[in-house]
Amino acid sequence: MSDAHAVNHLIETPGADPVRGRVRWDPVHSLWNGGMAGATLVLAPLTVSPGAVVVFILTTGASLLLGHSVGFHRKLIHGSFDCPIWLERVLVWFGTAVGMSGPHWIIRTHDLRDWAQRQPDCHPYLSHASPLLRDAWWQLHCRLELDHPPGFNLGRVGRDRFYRFLESTWMAQQLPIAAVLFWAGGWSFVVWGVCARVFICVHGHWLVGHLAHTRGPQRWLVGGAGVQAHDVPWAGFVTMGEAWHNNHHAFPGSARIGLYPGQSDLGFAFIRLLEWTGLAWNVRTPERLPPRSELVRAVSVAAPTRFPGWTTVPIALIVSSLFATAMLAWYVGVPELYPLIGFVVLFMGFLIGLPIYHVSKRDGFRGWRNAVLAGAVAGTLLVIGMVFDPDAWSILLTLAAIGALAGMVFHAVIVSAGAPDTGLPARTGAALGIACVSVIAALESVGRY
């Protein structure tokens, strides 16, 4: 096992300086990231379909969970658990498939930043200290060339022939994925399952990283470090637990990053599943790590702005009404109202997905009860669509899937803003969602349309 708190692959050579250096354009990553962004913005609206959106959600979730969070970050970089080498390689392939770069580049980039942020001062490229747009340009399109950089020793990972292959072909790893998706659903699946996925993963990684080093709640401070980390509560679920970055700076060798009530951590849940099946062992958590003398408690956890709890119910009612209007527009065929459908889909979580978040918060009986409700809503939409309109089931199922994801994110946002953590808005919206879809289906079944 690697050192629980060290930057494992970096060698601090004499005179290594994290401050002085120049930011230069990186043509390889710039053209790749820019190309994926351009292809998504141009082609995604032209090729959108219910199936393509489902492919996007599934491929994005799988690559972030298996690859970026578990394979790259918690296993390859920090060695927070052990597993068979074949499984490690599978997870690292998923990490490469995220589309950020190869495993060697990821390790060097991560460890350089990790080392620099532990120093009293470092270049703003390494601390994300620049304004938002400049930081985006630097991180997504440029590289930092330090005047006196440290050295690296990638050890076993650097000698591994499979990892060297992935390093030299990391962009080409999208080709087999694209081939399978094209066979399954044509260009629509390729655009959403490759271009849109890579675009969202890469740009989302930058955004969460920027926020995690500039603002947000803190429970821990690392003595002597010029850059302190923050949690990004609204992104905890969609980043598979990686957004609890303050915890990670405090316990970098821990396989568990979401440490406190309300901090979902799907990455650790997956590692626990591997441990239960015998495919992971020596799983490190904070209580199993050696004490860290430079770690101190923050004076207080930053309190978010209060979000009046009573407002969540009328919001749910408003969103439910919009959903009913959008569904009617779609069934009746009023093109002028079609844009409303896209707007409502973004907030479908109020109708379907909100309750699932309670499960990730380990909320006991209430969480499972609300999760069952969420499943019942999604199931009702699917059954109604299949019975009364065979052509409608795919769009309804897609709305359910999008809603489940959006709801968990939105629930995290309003709770982190101070709203009471209850399932009332979700239950209210779910009931209205079922009612309006049932009415539509019933009207169609008797030939009103």
User: 17-44, pLDDT tens digit by residue?
Assistant: 999 999 999 999 999 999 999 999 899 8
Amino acid at 294: E
Nearest-angstrom CA–CA distance, 326 and 329: 5
3-state secondary structure of 231: strand
> 57 with 402: CB under 8 angstroms?
yes
Q: At what angle do helices 27-47 and 132-141 cross, to 10 degrees?
A: 110
Q: In the prediction, which pLDDT does 384 show?
A: 52
Three-state secondary-structure class, residue 145: strand
SS3 readout for 1-64: CCCCCCCCCEECCCCCCCCCEEEEECHHHHHHHHHHHHHHHHHHHHHCCHHHHHHHHHHHHHHH
pLDDT tens string 181-219: 999 999 999 999 999 999 999 999 999 999 999 888 999
Q: How many CA atoms lie within 13 A of 279 on its CB side?
A: 13
The residue-averaged pLDDT of 274-296 equals: 91
**Could you give the 3-state DSSP secondary structure of residue 244?**
strand
408 vs 97, higher pLDDT: 97
Q: CA–CA separation, 345 vs 278, rounded Å? A: 40
Q: Are 78 and 247 spatial neighbours (Cβ–Cβ below 8 Å)?
A: no
**301 Cβ contact list (under 8 Å, min separation 6):** 217, 218, 219
pLDDT digits (tens, 9 = 90+) for 365-421: 344 455 455 555 555 555 555 555 555 545 555 555 545 444 555 555 545 444 444
Question: In this structure, what token pair is assigned to residue 413?
Answer: 């946002």
Among candidates 8, 9, 15, 16, which has minimal Cα distance to 150? 16
Tokens coding 86:
């074949």
Mean pLDDT of 245-252: 93
Give, as one character, the DSSP assignment of residue 255.
Answer: S
Find all residues with CB under 8 Å of 31, minimum gap 6, and list them: none
The model's pTM is: 0.71
Query: Given this model, what pLDDT does residue 48 score?
Result: 84
Q: Residue 256 carries which DSSP code?
A: -
CB neighbours of residue 336 within 10 Å: 7
What is the structure's pLDDT at 335?
A: 54
User: Which residue type occupies 363?
Assistant: D
> Which residue blocks in 245-311 are alpha helix, DSSP H?
245-250, 266-276
Under the banding of pLDDT at 50, 70 and 90, the label for residue 3 is: low
Beta bridge partners of 297: 220
Name beta bridge partners: 87.
Answer: none
Q: Between 147 and 391, where is the model more confident?
A: 147
